[in-house]
Structure 1
Amino acid sequence: MQHRTLGKTGFSISEISLGTWQVGGKWGEPFSHDNADHILNAAVDAGINFIDTADVYGDGESEKAVGRLVRSRAGERIYVATKCGRRLQPHTAEAYQPAALRGFVEDSLRNMGLDTLDLVQLHCPPTEVYYRPEIFEVFDRLKEEGKIQNLGVSVEKVEEGLKAIEYPNVTTLQVIFNMFRQRPAELLFKEAQRRDVGVIVRVPLASGLLTGKFSAQTTFDKDDHRNFNRNGEAFDKGETFSGVDYNTGLAAVEELKKIFPDQPNLAPVALRWILMFPEVSCIIPGASKPEQLLSNLKTEEIPALTSEQLAAVRGVYDRMIRPQVHQLW
């Protein structure tokens, strides 16, 4: 497993890490602590040392599982990142208040049974929140109290990321970036690197589209966000299939497969493509079963993509995806 530095946190983290949205549900499977424990321990056994969770994943159950993992493997350094803010109801800019955010951080500490959190990220707040310094200042107080070590942000839009990293206490930036969401590489990555802000890439496989395993006949469970959020009914539609129309995505995947005819599984190639960008600190693909985790780890066996392959991927994006999504996020 290769490691990269997570910006000014100084953490040396596995370039392939683990996101636990799937572990917490909303992917067609009910939450299972046994399954979560299996996946999390398999990840650490494979060399992953950075786990990303959130207080809303499985209504806190994902955090509990991550905390249990860290406590059970006390001799190993496992970095824990969680998120806060999405529990606000309604989820509006006005609802973001320092006292509420403090409460969420303290709830996460209780959920995980930890004394401090390595990284707490604002969880895709409304755009207006990024223009309120008092929201960012409360995390300085929490750091002084030893409850957190670092503040990060998870954003929907490039513009939000650019604003967030102006705050000197923001150490990491989590953003969607993949073969179907390429805009962050144009300016956001450069600014993050200039400010020594670590970049955490989420939704690296476009909700599974970039595995190459889906078809027009594929169905998703009624509780799976890939079924109920295709048009953004529940949350930002950019989180589901990266905002790409499903059939357009399927067609683009077929074009990508032609670029990599020797690869039976597109997922590791799609993850390797992301890691070709040196500004990226880590990717956090999820897994709802250990087999998916092992598939993601095959990325380490994929050689660097050639300039011709990179240009061909860009061509598919420019021709088929860019007109639909580029300026939206």
Structure 2
Amino acid sequence: MQYEKLGNSDLEVSVVGLGTWALGSDFYGEVDDSQSIAAIRQAIDSGINLIDTAPPYGDGHSEEVVGEAIKGYREQVLIATKCGVYRDGAELVRDLSPSTIRKQVNDSLDRLGIDTIDLYQIHWPDTNVPLEETVAELEKLQEEGKFRYLGVSNFDKQLLEEITDLTNIVSLQPHYSLLQREIETEELPYCVEHNIGNLSYGSIGGGILTGKYDQPPEFDDDDKRSQFYPFYDEETWSQTLDLIDVMEEIAAEHNAPIVQVAINWVRQQEGITTALVGAKTPQQAKQNAGAADWDLSAAEIERLTKASNKVIK
């Protein structure tokens, strides 16, 4: 495993991180908790030290699973979670009010079974609460020792500028992959210029960049990933398959799984610190971590980027 410093913090994070959205058992279909715990521990044993979660993932269930999995492993891992989004039945509510943030951080600490969160992130912007109020409360919580470093997720360049005028952030968590590259225009260059790390989510396109589908899949009713990731639409499917053909050729040259090509293209982009990737099983966790054992060449990165351009335009 390779490690890099996260932005202007002293956190040394693995270049492949573990995302745990799927482990909430409410978005990617039902997941067996014992398998989830085994997957997390395999990720740790494979050198992954960054585990990312959030309260709305299963209405706190993902955090509970992470908390159980890291018992006895706390010194080996960095825990990242989020604030500002919660579930109200089936609805996701954005709320960055001070009272909600304070409740959420304490609830997260309880579910995770830890004293301090390593990286606390604003999950989504909330236009109903002035950013100054949110930041003021977060700074209080940081001073109280609830978390070590502050990051943001899903912020555009304007919001990045606003929050960096108010306080220090060490990271952005953006949606980024071979199929989603909007941040390359503004957000990624801003982060590079201001030494803000990036933890990409959706690094394998919700599973499509694993190469395991030869036709658009029909997901179960409890698997809602196609509602969030648009890459399974018929109109882009054939172009996506062309990209996967290129990925297959490169994977074969390295005797590696296709998913590692997707992960390595992301993590080798300038400004990306960690490619967050989900895993439901120990086998997936070990395979994802293995991406850090080799690098794409400059020519291979260019070839993949050109193939990606044909899909995203």
Same fold (TM over 0.5): yes
CA contact (8 A) 1:268 1:302 kept: no
Q: Structure 1's 156 and 288: CA in aligned 2 closer, same or farther, altered over 3 A? A: farther
Q: Structure 1's 160 and 211: CA in aligned 2 closer, same or farther, altered over 3 A? A: farther
Q: Aligned equivalents of 1:214 and 1:157: distance in 2?
A: 32
Q: List aligned pairs for 1:185-224, cutoff 5 A.
A: 185-216=184-215, 218-224=217-223
Further displaced range: 58-67 or 268-277: 58-67
Q: Identify the residue that residue 180 of structure 2 maps to in structure 1.
A: 181
User: Counterpart of 2:287 in 1: which secondary structure?
Assistant: helix
Q: Structure 1's 21 and 219: CA in aligned 2 closer, same or farther, altered over 3 A? A: same
Q: Aligned equivalents of 2:305 and 2:158: distance in 1?
A: 22
User: Counterpart of 1:115 in 2: which secondary structure?
Assistant: coil
User: Counterpart of 1:263 in 2: which secondary structure?
Assistant: helix
CA contact (8 A) 1:154 1:173 kept: yes
Structure 1, residues 198-248: CA drift from partner, whole Å, max 9, x if none?
111101011011112123352211011125x2xxxxxxxxxx22x345234
Q: List aligned pairs for 1:76-87, cutoff 5 A.
A: 76-87=75-86
Does 2:51 align with 1:63?
no
Q: Identify the residue that residue 134 of structure 1 maps to in structure 2.
A: 133
Identity of aligned residues (%): 26
What are structure 1's unaligned runs of at least 5 residues?
Answer: 230-239, 323-329
- Structure 1-normalised TM-score? 0.84
Q: List aligned pairs for 1:1-329, cutoff 5 A.
A: 1-74=1-74, 76-87=75-86, 89=88, 95-126=95-126, 128=127, 132-155=131-154, 157=156, 159-216=158-215, 218-227=217-226, 229=227, 240-241=228-229, 243-244=230-231, 246-260=233-247, 261-263=249-251, 265-307=257-299, 309-322=300-313
User: Counterpart of 1:315 in 2: which secondary structure?
Assistant: helix
User: Counterpart of 2:13 in 1: which secondary structure?
Assistant: strand
What are structure 2's unaligned runs of at least 5 residues?
Answer: none
Residue type of the alignment partner of 2:132: P
CA contact (8 A) 1:199 1:279 kept: yes
CA contact (8 A) 1:165 1:195 kept: no
- Structure 2-normalised TM-score? 0.88
Q: Aligned equivalents of 1:88 and 1:22: distance in 2?
A: 16
Q: Structure 1's 118 and 301: CA in aligned 2 closer, same or farther, altered over 3 A? A: closer
Q: Aligned equivalents of 2:180 and 2:42: distance in 1?
A: 29
Q: CA deviation at 1:107?
A: 0.8
CA contact (8 A) 2:123 2:152 kept: yes
Structure 1, residues 64-109: CA drift from partner, whole Å, max 9, x if none?
22222333224x331000112211657566x431111111111111
Q: Structure 1's 298 and 115: CA in aligned 2 closer, same or farther, altered over 3 A? A: closer
User: Counterpart of 1:284 in 2: which secondary structure?
Assistant: strand
CA RMSD of aligned residues (A): 2.3
Q: Aligned equivalents of 1:252 and 1:123: distance in 2?
A: 31
Q: Structure 1's 165 and 266: CA in aligned 2 closer, same or farther, altered over 3 A? A: farther
